């Protein structure tokens, strides 16, 4: 590392001292039967992907793809931080995920769709049938909707196979898709459509969620109005019907604008469309994500670099073989679904399961029944889902005869306590676990253990994955060494093929947000001067494992002493009665901020509330110290959650600080917010005042 450019004594020096009170957890070795069959079991990988071989090492990932023309330059870094991978190469992403598998696997399931109603039949779509359907949709998009390479299209759909089919059809034509998570509002969709300049919206009329058929087409009306208000005219809205021929929405079809896809497709039966030869650098998709402030930003991902990275990490970290039945329970509307339900697994000719419903409906045994029925052997989910399933049905997994060889956790730090339940109960001590840390911006995994090569350590993501060189920097841009016991900002020293290309329409924001903070010399053409700032706090242990503490805005500064909220939450979860915990900063006259703890109890708990509160306080004090003593411990019936399952700490922070909770309409359970608010703030009128910035933005992950 070059030395810091920031003068010593600049303001913020003390800010670097995020105290860390994690205790070191025990190691678990990968099961022998996993190691024997693993894709990546050669310990020389560290050297192969070492800095001496960078960036050439990534040719191995690009070689997993089929190119129409080979690249001439692996990495062009002449215009930092706009990295260009596999320059000169031409490929088609759809061809790589579908066509090229036909010779060997045409009769094998590409997608298995599990509808939410348990009595409905499961549908397997073979690679041959995926090829047929993608071609027909591509023909329709080109000839009926008038889309061509480079155009953007906004897709607002739930978890049905027509979603990946539509995405692949776009990729076949070189049309840039922007998928908006189905749980977002029409307004959110409209804003994104306007930002991307989409003239066509693609919707589904309805879908099942928690036992109800939800009217989704209704949202398209608001989306169109919102986009138009923003100056973007929508020419066509294409509606997939959940049941072809049967329209399930109260929202009327607008003549000359709204069309049923199943009807439009009739003109294109059996049509085949040549995959367009796209430049490696051509954008494949946009994915909007929230920063801590400002409007959502469209992360633009490339065709060649992105797909190579998704395929490479799927093979080595997810350990996907074509014979595996792989189930990632995320939603395709998030980056996890793009990279690790659709593009990565299909590039490797895997069988990828798509589940329409929620994990705990009709009961917490549903995921395990699906796993048993389909003989799933790779399972991928989030800590929130694990916590939810642990709370609702701690003994459910053992009732079902499935066997996972591999499990993933992603999206948030996982508390060691929860990790151990995942390992012993869900994985039955037979499965290896990877805790993969990454972001919408990064296209694929950044930190994780290599499943057959590195021991697991609960609560730690692990080292950088092959070819990724992470580092922890303090506010002075000084490296915090391994084992220092201090946290800082985790950065990646080098570019990698999956990194986003830019923020759509706002390259300056891209530079500002991710590179400005630690750029050593804005004139430099050397990638070593451009570390990527991820926006997460992390700790590097002596063994080289990174432990992610959460967004840097999830840190509570108590009396000038920083505490990771995740540490406190993790402590709470070791209390036997506690099922879920969320910690938020509450303004304190003397100490600045103090942590406030929200907990949800396991069902059937009979311990009196006062006793549970005392136990929680005592545990925090013993595991972390008096400095972390919460101002209040509040017991709530449930946590406010996004539809993707993340606990909305921002909403809790607002309630704790007597502030307005803001827009909560996109939450999975908005009613709970009012219940908690009344319990905390009393029956009085809803607060309207604004709070300090750190409380407002606290934990504002969508
Ligand atoms: C957090 C999701 C701890 C982190 C793929 C990051 C994690 C944000 C982990 C990105 C993990 C993701 N351990 N924290 N294994 N994975 N995060 O863009 O704070 O939805 O910055 O991408 O999730 O969320 P995003």
β-strands 176-181, 283-289: how paired? parallel
Q: Which of 339, 411, 448, 456 to mutate to test the pocket of ligand 1 (most atoms within 8 A of CB)?
A: 411
CB 166 within 8 A of CB 200: no
Ligand 1, closest atom to CA 334? 20
Residue found under tokens 């329209």 = 247
Calculate helix-pair angle for 609-623, 565-573, nearest 10 degrees.
130
| Distance between CA atoms of residues 657 and 350, nearest Å | 48
| Residues facing 85 on adjacent strands | 75
Spacing, Cα 120 to ligand 1 middle (Å): 34
Instruction: Give the helix ranges, DSSP H, for 410-562.
Output: 416-421, 507-511
CA-nearest residue for atom 6, ligand 1, is 439
Spacing, Cα 548 to ligand 1 middle (Å): 9
Structure tokens at 169: 């059809």
Helix, strand, coil % over all residues of the chain, rounded to 5: 30, 25, 45
Ligand 1, closest atom to CA 548? 3
H or E segment to which residue 433 belongs = strand 432-436
Pocket-forming residues, ligand 1, beta carbon under 6 Å: 289, 334-336, 410-413, 435-440, 461, 535-536, 548, 550-551
What predicted TM-score, i.e. pTM, was given to this entire model? 0.83
Spacing, Cα 538 to ligand 1 middle (Å): 12
CA-nearest residue for atom 14, ligand 1, is 412
Ligand 1, closest atom to CA 441? 18
Spacing, Cα 550 to ligand 1 middle (Å): 8
pLDDT at 290 (0 to 100): 63
Spacing, Cα 607 to ligand 1 middle (Å): 34
| Distance between CA atoms of residues 620 and 577, nearest Å | 14
Spacing, Cα 305 to ligand 1 middle (Å): 21
Q: Residue 512: how many CA atoms within 13 Å on its side-chain side?
A: 7
What are the 10-residue block averages of pLDDT along the chain, 702 residues in total?
A: 31 36 84 98 96 98 98 97 98 98 98 98 98 98 98 98 98 97 84 96 97 96 95 98 97 97 98 98 92 68 98 98 96 95 98 96 97 98 88 95 97 88 98 96 98 97 98 95 92 98 96 94 96 92 91 62 73 93 84 86 92 94 79 94 86 90 83 91 70 50 30
Q: Report the SS3 class of residue 220.
A: helix
| Distance between CA atoms of residues 414 and 433, nearest Å | 12
Structure tokens at 380: 């991928």
| Distance between CA atoms of residues 379 and 234, nearest Å | 39
138: left (phi over 0), alpha (psi -120 to 50) or beta: alpha
Q: Which of 438, 463, 539, 645 to mutate to test the pocket of ligand 1 (most atoms within 8 A of CB)?
A: 438
CA-nearest residue for atom 13, ligand 1, is 413
Spacing, Cα 410 to ligand 1 middle (Å): 7
Spacing, Cα 4 to ligand 1 middle (Å): 27
Structure tokens at 157: 């759909």
Spacing, Cα 478 to ligand 1 middle (Å): 24
CB 479 within 8 A of CB 473: yes
pLDDT at 536 (0 to 100): 87
Ligand 1, closest atom to CA 289? 18
Q: Which of 328, 333, 437, 534 to mutate to test the pocket of ligand 1 (most atoms within 8 A of CB)?
A: 437
| Distance between CA atoms of residues 35 and 604, nearest Å | 40
| Distance between CA atoms of residues 40 and 581, nearest Å | 36
Spacing, Cα 439 to ligand 1 middle (Å): 5
Ligand 1, closest atom to CA 447? 15
| Distance between CA atoms of residues 599 and 577, nearest Å | 10
Ligand 1, closest atom to CA 440? 18
**CB count, 10 Å around CB of 148?**
12
Spacing, Cα 437 to ligand 1 middle (Å): 6
Question: For residue 440, what is the DSSP state?
Answer: G
Q: Which residues, in sequence order, are CB contacts of 483 under 8 Å at separation 6+?
A: 540, 541, 542
DSSP 531-595: -EEEEEEEEE-TTS-EEEEEEGGGEEEETTEEEEHHHHHHHHHTSTTEEEEEEEEEEETTTEEEE
Q: Which of 287, 412, 470, 546 to mutate to test the pocket of ligand 1 (most atoms within 8 A of CB)?
A: 412
The 3-state secondary structure of 636-651, one letter per residue = CCCCCEECCCCECHHH
CB 332 within 8 A of CB 342: yes
Spacing, Cα 525 to ligand 1 middle (Å): 29
Ligand 1, closest atom to CA 461? 15
Burial of 455 (0-12, 13-18, 19+ CB in 10 A): middle
Spacing, Cα 702 to ligand 1 middle (Å): 11
| Distance between CA atoms of residues 223 and 203, nearest Å | 10
483: left (phi over 0), alpha (psi -120 to 50) or beta: left
Structure tokens at 666: 């996109």
Ligand 1, closest atom to CA 535? 21
Ligand 1, closest atom to CA 436? 15
| Distance between CA atoms of residues 129 and 311, nearest Å | 22
Ligand 1, closest atom to CA 702? 20
Q: Which residues, in sequence order, are CB contacts of 304 under 8 Å at separation 6+?
A: 62, 65, 67, 71, 85, 86, 89, 91, 279, 280, 281, 497
Residue found under tokens 């994104």 = 192
Whole-angstrom CA distances from 544 to 21, 448, 481, 533, 540 are 17, 11, 10, 19, 6
| Distance between CA atoms of residues 454 and 38, nearest Å | 12
472: Cα separation from own chain's centroid: 22
660-674 per-residue burial string, b: 16 or more CB within 10 A, e: under 16: ebeebebbbbeebbe
CB 358 within 8 A of CB 210: yes
Give strand ranges (E) for 163-210: 176-181, 200-204, 206-209
Residue found under tokens 């300090």 = 692
| Residues facing 207 on adjacent strands | 214
Long-range contacts (CB closer than 8 Å, 24 or more residues apart) made by 67-70: 67/91, 67/304, 68/92, 68/277, 69/277
H or E segment to which residue 600 belongs = strand 592-601
Structure tokens at 417: 């306590």
CA-nearest residue for atom 24, ligand 1, is 439
DSSP 75-140: EE-SSTTS-EEEET-EE-HHHHHTGGGHHHHTTSEEEEEE-SSTTSPPEEEEHHHHHHHHHHHHHI
Rg of the chain over CA atoms, in angstroms? 24
Spacing, Cα 412 to ligand 1 middle (Å): 5
């Amino acid at each position: 590392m070059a030395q810091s450019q920031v003068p010593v004594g600049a303001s913020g020096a003390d800010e670097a001292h995020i105290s860390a009170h994690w205790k070191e957890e025990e190691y678990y070795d990968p099961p022998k039967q996993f190691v024997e069959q693993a894709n990546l079991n050669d310990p020389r990988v560290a050297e192969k992907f070492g800095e001496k071989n960078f960036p050439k090492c990534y040719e191995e990932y690009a070689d997993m793809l089929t190119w129409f023309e080979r690249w001439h330059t692996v990495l062009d870094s002449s215009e930092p931080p706009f990295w260009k991978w596999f320059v000169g190469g031409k490929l088609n992403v759809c061809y790589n995920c579908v066509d090229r598998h036909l010779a060997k696997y045409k009769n094998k399931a590409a997608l298995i769709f599990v509808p939410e109603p348990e009595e409905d039949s499961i549908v397997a779509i073979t690679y041959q049938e995926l090829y047929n359907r993608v071609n027909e949709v591509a023909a329709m998009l080109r000839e009926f909707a008038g889309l061509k390479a480079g155009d953007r299209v906004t897709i607002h759909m739930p978890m049905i196979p027509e979603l990946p089919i539509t995405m692949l059809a776009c990729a076949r034509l070189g049309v840039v898709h922007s998928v908006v998570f189905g749980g977002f509002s029409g307004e959110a969709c409209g804003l994104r459509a306007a930002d991307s300049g989409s003239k066509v919206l693609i919707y589904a009329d309805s879908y099942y969620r928690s036992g109800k058929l939800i009217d989704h087409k209704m949202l398209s009306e608001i989306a169109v109005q919102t986009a138009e208000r923003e100056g973007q005219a929508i020419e066509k809205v294409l509606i997939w019907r959940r049941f072809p021929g049967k329209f399930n929405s109260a929202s009327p079809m607008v003549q000359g604008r709204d069309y049923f896809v199943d009807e439009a497709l009739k003109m294109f039966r059996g049509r085949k469309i040549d995959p367009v030869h796209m430049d490696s650098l051509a954008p494949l998709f946009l994915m909007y994500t929230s920063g801590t402030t400002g409007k959502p930003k469209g992360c633009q991902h490339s065709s060649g670099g992105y797909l190579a990275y998704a395929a490479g990490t799927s093979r080595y970290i997810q350990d996907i073989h074509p014979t595996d039945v792989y189930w990632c329970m995320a939603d395709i509307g998030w980056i996890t679904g793009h990279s690790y339900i659709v593009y990565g697994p299909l590039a490797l000719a895997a069988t990828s399961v798509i589940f329409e419903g929620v994990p705990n409906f009709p009961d917490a045994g549903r995921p395990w029944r699906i796993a048993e029925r389909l003989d799933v052997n790779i399972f991928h989910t989030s800590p929130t889902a694990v916590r939810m399933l642990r709370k609702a049905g701690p003994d459910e997994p053992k009732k079902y005869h499935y066997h996972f060889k591999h499990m993933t956790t992603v999206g948030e730090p996982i508390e060691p306590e929860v990790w151990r339940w995942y390992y012993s109960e869900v994985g039955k001590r037979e499965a290896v676990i990877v805790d993969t840390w990454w972001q919408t911006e990064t296209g694929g995994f950044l930190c994780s253990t290599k499943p057959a090569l590195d021991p697991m350590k609960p609560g730690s993501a692990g080292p950088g994955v092959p070819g990724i060189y992470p580092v922890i920097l303090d506010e002075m841009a000084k490296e915090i060494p391994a084992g220092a016991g201090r946290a800082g900002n985790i950065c990646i020293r080098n570019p990698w093929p999956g990194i986003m290309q830019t923020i759509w329409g706002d390259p300056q924001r891209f530079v500002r947000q991710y590179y400005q903070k630690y750029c050593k010399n804005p004139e430099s053409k050397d990638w070593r001067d451009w570390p990527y700032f991820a926006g997460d706090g992390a700790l590097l242990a002596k063994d080289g494992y990174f432990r992610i503490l959460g967004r840097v805005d999830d840190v509570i500064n108590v009396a000038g002493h920083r505490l990771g909220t995740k540490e406190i939450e993790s402590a709470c979860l070791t209390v036997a009665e506690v099922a879920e915990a969320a910690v938020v900063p509450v303004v304190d006259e003397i100490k600045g901020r103090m942590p406030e703890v929200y907990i949800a109890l396991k069902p059937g708990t009979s311990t009196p509330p006062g006793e549970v509160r005392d136990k929680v306080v005592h545990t925090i004090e013993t595991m972390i110290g008096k400095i972390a003593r919460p101002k209040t411990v509040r017991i709530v019936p449930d946590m406010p959650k996004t539809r993707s399952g993340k606990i909305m700490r921002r909403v809790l922070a607002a309630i704790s600080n007597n502030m307005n909770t803001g827009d909560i309409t996109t939450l999975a359970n908005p009613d709970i917010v009012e219940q908690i608010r009344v319990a905390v703030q009393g029956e009085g009128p809803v607060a309207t005042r604004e709070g300090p910035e750190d409380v407002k933005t606290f934990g504002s992950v969508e």
